Chains A and B, each alone.
Chain A
Amino acid sequence: MQLLQLLVFPGLTFFVWIAFAFEWLERKTAARMQGRVGPMIAGPFGLLQPVADFLKLASKEQIIPKHSEKFVLTWGPPLYFAAPAIGIIFIPVIGNESIIGHPLDLLFVLFVLAFSTLMASLLGYSAAGRYSTIAVGRLVVQYTSYEIPLILSVISPAILAGNLSLGGIVSAQSNYWFILSAPIGFAVFIIASLAELEKPPFDIPSAKTEIVGGWMTDFSGNALAYVKLTKNLSYVFLSALAVTLFLGGPNGPVLFHQIILQYVMNTIYFMVKLFSVGFLIFVVKTALARIRIDQAAELFWTILTPLSLAQLGLVILLR
Chain B
Amino acid sequence: MTLKDWARKKSIWVFDVNAASCNGCDIEILDAFTPRYDVERIGVVLVPSPRHADVLLVTGTVNAMMKDRLKTIYEQMSEPKYVVAVGACALGGGVYKGCYNVGHGVDKVIPVNLYIPGCPPRPEAIIFGILKLVTGEPPDPKEEE
Contact = CB atoms under 8 A, between A and B. Distances in A.
B144 to A, nearest CB: 7
B11 A46 contact: no
A27 B51 contact: no
A290 interface: no
Judged by DSSP, the binding face of A is: loop
A62 B78 contact: yes
B19 to A, nearest CB: 18
Given A37-B41, A38-B40, A52-B43, A61 B78 contact: yes
A35 B144 CA distance: 17
A236 to B, nearest CB: 21
A224 B45 CA distance: 15
Interface in A163-208: 208
Contact of B40 (A36, A56, A62, A63): A36
A264 interface: no
B35 A221 contact: no
A213 B52 contact: yes
Contacts of B40: 27, 31, 36-39
B11 A42 contact: yes
Nearest to A48: B10
Contacts of A48: 10
A63 B78 contact: yes
Interface residues of B, number: 26
A55 B6 CA distance: 9
Contacts of B6: 52, 55
B47 A56 contact: no
A52 B3 CA distance: 9
A213 B43 CA distance: 19
Contacts of A53: 7, 11, 13, 43
Given A27-B40, A213-B52, A49 B11 contact: yes
B53 to A, nearest CB: 9
B10 A59 contact: no
A35 B13 CA distance: 21
B89 to A, nearest CB: 25
B143 interface: yes
A292 interface: no
Contact of B41 (A39, A59, A218, A219): A39
A40 interface: yes
B45 to A, nearest CB: 8
Contacts of A213: 47-49, 51-52
Contacts of A29: none
A60 interface: yes
A60 B79 contact: yes
Contacts of B78: 60-63, 220-221
A318 interface: no
Interface of A: 27, 31, 34-42, 46, 48-49, 51-56, 59-63, 208, 212-213, 216-221, 224
Interface of B: 3-4, 6-8, 10-11, 13, 35, 38, 40-43, 47-49, 51-52, 54, 76, 78-80, 143-144
16 contacts: A38-B41, A40-B41, A41-B143, A41-B144, A42-B11, A49-B11, A51-B7, A52-B11, A56-B11, A59-B4, A60-B79, A61-B78, A63-B51, A216-B49, A216-B52, A220-B51
Nearest 4 interchain pairs by C-beta: A55-B7, A40-B41, A42-B10, A52-B10
Given A35-B35, A36-B35, 15 more contacts: A37-B38, A37-B40, A39-B41, A41-B10, A41-B41, A41-B42, A42-B10, A49-B11, A52-B10, A54-B7, A55-B3, A56-B10, A63-B78, A212-B49, A220-B52
